[in-house]
Amino acid sequence: MAQPNNTQQHTLIAMVEDKPGVLTRVASMFRRRGFNIASLAVGSSEQPGISRMTFVVNGDEYTVGQVAKQLDKLIDVLEVADITSERIVTREIALIKVATTQITRGEIIQIVNLFRANIIDVGSESMVIEITGEEDKINALHNLLAPFGVIEMLRSGLVAMVRGQANGLPNGNGNGSANGQVNGHS
Amino acid sequence: MELTGAEIVCESLLKEGADVVFGLPGGAVLPLYGALSKYPGVRHILVRHEQAAAMAADGYARATGKVGVCVATSGPGATNLVTGIAAAQMDSVPMVAITGQVPRPYIGRDAFQETDVTGVTLPITKHNMLVMDVKDVAQAIHDAFHIARTGRPGPVLVDIPRDVLLGEKTEFVWPTETKLPGYKIPGEAPEDQVAAAAELINKAEKPLIMAGHGVLISHSYDLMTEMAEKAQIPVITTLLGISSIQSDHELNLGMSGMHGMAYSNLAIDEADLIIGLGMRFDDRVTGRISDFAPNAKFVHVDIDASEIGKNVETSVGLIGDLKDVLTQILPKIEANVHIYWLRRIEELKTQHPSHVVRESDELLPQYVLQRLTETTQSRGIVVTGVGQHQMWAAQHCKFTDPNTFITSGGLGTMGFEVPAALGAQVGRPDTVVWSVCGDGGFQMTMCDIATAVESGADVKFAILNNTNLGMVHQLQDVFFEKDFMASEFSANPDFVKIAEAYGIRGIRVTKKDEVVDAVQQAMETSGPVIIDFMVKQDEIVFPFIPSGQSVNEMLEEPAPKEPA
């Protein structure tokens, strides 16, 4: 067995057929092979009938390589790429409901402005803040808001895209082929 | 002409060349039976339990290389297929299972005999589908056969609601293409990697080929033997790779692994290169992975990319169709003699003769199989169940032709021997099929003796009857201080009378000198025969590498005591 390397956070993208049951197949594969998904975001892509999944998986090279290969084996999965080492942009959206009082409201608004986040709902004892950005930025805002009392938080899961013309997929429509392909050397 | 969904299934089966299906009807799938009666080109073999339908389709597929087809109704019919489907998945067997489903308006309402069978079989099929529109039926069957038989083969389940089978009619249009944009079938491997593999093989001083099921599936046996002969590389087979090279070939070292030949395992321990062909280095082959082939590099060829690097770290992993890859690599392999290596292996064979059956006055199961294979002159197909009898068959039966040893390897399914044997015989009617059974497994599926009789399947059942669950008994003997909890039968039926009850010949053998005669009588009898070999009860399968251990902990048969 491959020697376990250092565990690292990997970002994988998969193009899948937009059909009933695809998410179940993907989730079932992760479960039965004992892989953990740190986050998963699914949505439509630029091509009709094809959805795009972004996975964040924590693991060593061996585990993440297996995740990619097992994903690629699923019939409904068109392409898989590990884009961790690519030049990528990543974003996540979070909604944070934080407790407020007359005293704290001003300070919270200041923090929100500092982060270029938005207040999308204000109540007498709470407000809902929307923030979009990289994971670290969201973590930082959350840490600053935590002392005020975070009542609820939801995070969309990370979405990622390769910069420039290439799309990171081995056989994708992009002009270049990235190194993330799973069928190559092992 | 417009056809019902059921008729389209039948037309599609004919288009795919599926001339035999194994099944058992029920409410939801009944419309399909209504159509089957009008399609004599598709022979239906009625089983007694759906488990047998799946396993017979499996045996049929392995014996013929064609896709095996089984049919069951919704709910319990479909769930009874599950074990057979899982076995086919583990052993990469091409199979299409067609199940009836409750009518569309009832789906999700816990209707009578409703089971989410695509949900149930999701992790044990290569793919499955629920067909919700009669217009999709032909495409679904076409895609199912394509997926089942190409790439790394496997089972595909197609679930069709009753009202899709028998409702709105539609024009039957046989699709010209598959609709599977995400499905890739590897062919040749990249040339630079092939060259790298060839270089490792040419440089190796102690190379070994490990041949798996992929050699048989891809029809690469001749190419593999050619490569082995050209460079004089000994060949070890996995359990499912048996019959990929002739048993008496001088380079064939037989099976390795948990109950493999001691000299094969010891050769692996000394080898400097393992060439894995269409096999997956599973735990029964490797034992403790850190101690497996500690001196060797690995070249691994497999059609399934996820197998490369899964269990062993490979120096060169070639993803491709084994036949294509061997065709690519053969011209690059230099002729060699490996004199010292072959001499060393001969030495190991002399020092550790695990293929030899010891002298005994008792009826040893190994002795029965040795005589059986001599008497049949290694012709015909041997099908086994799972357990001690399976390991002894793997060790002592001899094979001349490819695809003549059929066994449930990955899943290890007891009871496989009865239905798989009848399926194999239906697929190869010119061939005698020997079902080597354990008395435990035989009783799991012996209801389908009736199916063998009814379908005229000429199967000879050789029960190695030790009135035990033999392998369990062995494990209890060695690891549980002889606590034989729940592994001994006190009321086995009289298998000769069972034979008679089904109107076939039954023979009981209790002594060594009766073995050959019984086998000959069985061969001279037309139709199924059951031979009840009352073998020695507490025999242990040697060699034996306990689970999770290595060749260093291998137990070999104790040397016979010198006469006083």
Confidence at B277, pLDDT banded by 50, 70, 90: very high
Least confident of A48-52, B58-62, B560-564: B560-564
What is the reported pLDDT for B476? Answer: 97
Tens digit of each residue's pLDDT (9 = 90 or more) over B424-458:
999 999 999 999 999 999 999 999 999 999 999 99
Looking at the structure, tell me whether residues A107 and A79 fall in a common domain: no
The answer to whether residue A178 is domain-embedded is no
Nearest-by-Cβ selection for A17 from B182, B305, B308? B182
Nearest-by-Cβ selection for A24 from B122, B311, B317? B122
Choose the mutation target among B90, B179, B288, B310 for the interface with A, i.e. most A CBs under 10 Å.
B310
Looking at the structure, tell me whether residues A13 and A81 fall in a common domain: yes
What is the reported pLDDT for B562? Answer: 64
B353: left (phi over 0), alpha (psi -120 to 50) or beta: beta
What is the reported pLDDT for A177? Answer: 36
Answer yes or no: is pLDDT of B170 > 50: yes
Confidence at A168, pLDDT banded by 50, 70, 90: confident
**Which residues lie across from B127 on neighbouring strands?**
B156
Looking at the structure, tell me whether residues A15 and A80 fall in a common domain: yes
Angle between helices B191-203 and B322-329 (to 10 degrees): 60
Q: Do A1 and B311 touch (CB under 8 A)?
A: yes
Domain B365-542 classification at class level: alpha beta
What is the reported pLDDT for A2? Answer: 46
Beta carbons of B28 and B78 less than 8 angstroms apart: no
Residue of higher predicted confidence among B75 and B558: B75
Summary mean pLDDT of chain A: 88
* Closest-approach residue (CA) in chain A for B317: A186
| Domain span holding position A112 | 90-159
Separation in Å, CA of A126 to nearest CA in chain B: 41
Where in chain B are the domains? 2-171, 191-351, 365-542
**A102 touches B: beta carbon within 8 Å:** no
**B195 touches A: beta carbon within 8 Å:** no
Q: In terms of C-beta density within 10 A (0-12 exposed, 13-18 middle, 19 or more buried), how is residue B206 classed?
A: buried
CA distances from B467 to B31, B446, B521 (A): 44, 16, 24
The answer to whether residue A142 is domain-embedded is yes
Q: Do B183 and A24 touch (CB under 8 A)?
A: no
Q: What mean pLDDT comes out for the span B537-545?
A: 95
Answer yes or no: is pLDDT of B159 > 80: yes
Looking at the structure, tell me whether residues A34 and A77 fall in a common domain: yes
Confidence at A175, pLDDT banded by 50, 70, 90: very low
Confidence at A172, pLDDT banded by 50, 70, 90: low
Q: How many domains does chain A have?
A: 2
**B205 touches A: beta carbon within 8 Å:** no
Q: What's the token pair of residue B76?
A: 């319990």
d(CA B498, CA B505): 9
Q: What mean pLDDT comes out for the span B163-176?
A: 96
Q: What mean pLDDT comes out for the span B103-127?
A: 97
**B305 touches A: beta carbon within 8 Å:** yes
Looking up residue A61, the CATH number of its domain turns out to be 3.30.70.260
Answer yes or no: is pLDDT of B114 > 90: yes
- Indicate the residue among A59, A87, A115 that finishes a domain: A87
What is the reported pLDDT for B378? Answer: 86
CB-CB neighbors (< 8 A) of A24 in chain B:
119, 122
Nearest-by-Cβ selection for A17 from B130, B181, B312? B181
Separation in Å, CA of B186 to nearest CA in chain A: 10
**B197 touches A: beta carbon within 8 Å:** no
Q: Do A21 and B118 touch (CB under 8 A)?
A: yes
ipTM of the complex, rounded to two decimals: 0.90
CB-CB neighbors (< 8 A) of B130 in chain A:
21
CA distances from B96 to A39, B13, B80, B181, B437 (A): 35, 10, 15, 20, 26
What's the distance, CA B120 to chain centroid?
22
| Side chain identity at residue B362, one-letter code | E
Looking up residue A130, the CATH number of its domain turns out to be 3.30.70.1150
Beta carbons of B111 and B77 less than 8 angstroms apart: no
Query: Helix or strand or coil: residue B291?
Result: helix
Q: Do A16 and B182 touch (CB under 8 A)?
A: yes
The answer to whether residue A168 is domain-embedded is no
Nearest-by-Cβ selection for B309 from A65, A74, A183? A65
Q: What mean pLDDT comes out for the span A131-143?
A: 96
**B89 touches A: beta carbon within 8 Å:** no
B122: left (phi over 0), alpha (psi -120 to 50) or beta: alpha
The overall pTM is greater than 0.90: yes
Percent of chain A surpassing pLDDT 70: 89
Q: Do B313 and A28 touch (CB under 8 A)?
A: no
* Closest-approach residue (CA) in chain B for A19: B129
What is the reported pLDDT for A180? Answer: 39
* Closest-approach residue (CA) in chain B for A171: B182
* Closest-approach residue (CA) in chain A for B152: A73
d(CA B134, CA B166): 9
CB-CB neighbors (< 8 A) of B181 in chain A:
17, 78
Q: What mean pLDDT comes out for the span B87-97?
A: 98
Answer yes or no: is pLDDT of B473 > 50: yes
**B92 touches A: beta carbon within 8 Å:** no
Choose the mutation target among B282, B299, B306, B310 for the interface with A, i.e. most A CBs under 10 Å.
B306
Q: Do A32 and B313 touch (CB under 8 A)?
A: no
Beta carbons of B53 and B182 less than 8 angstroms apart: no
* Closest-approach residue (CA) in chain A for B146: A75
Percent of chain B surpassing pLDDT 90: 98
**A17 touches B: beta carbon within 8 Å:** yes
Answer yes or no: is pLDDT of A174 > 80: no
CB-CB neighbors (< 8 A) of B183 in chain A:
75
- Which string of b and e fits B448-482 if b means at least 16 CB within 10 Å? bbbbbbebebbbbbbbbbbbbbbbbbbbbeeeeee
The answer to whether residue A180 is domain-embedded is no
What is the reported pLDDT for B563? Answer: 62
**B288 touches A: beta carbon within 8 Å:** no
Kindly report the backbone phi and psi dihedral angles of residue B556, in degrees, each rounded to the nearest multiple of 5, phi listed first.
Answer: -110, 160
CB-CB neighbors (< 8 A) of B118 in chain A:
21
Tens digit of each residue's pLDDT (9 = 90 or more) over B356-367:
999 999 999 999
**A18 touches B: beta carbon within 8 Å:** no
Q: Does domain B191-351 have CATH number 3.40.50.300?
A: no
Give the CATH superfamily of B2-171: Thiamin diphosphate (ThDP)-binding fold, Pyr/PP domains (3.40.50.970)
Answer yes or no: is pLDDT of A179 > 50: no
Q: Do A2 and B309 touch (CB under 8 A)?
A: yes
Answer yes or no: is pLDDT of A77 > 70: yes
Q: Which of residues 32-71 of A touch B (CB under 8 A)?
A: 32, 62, 65-66, 69-70
- Topology alike, domains B191-351 and B365-542: yes
Nearest to B256 by CA among B352, B385, B326: B352
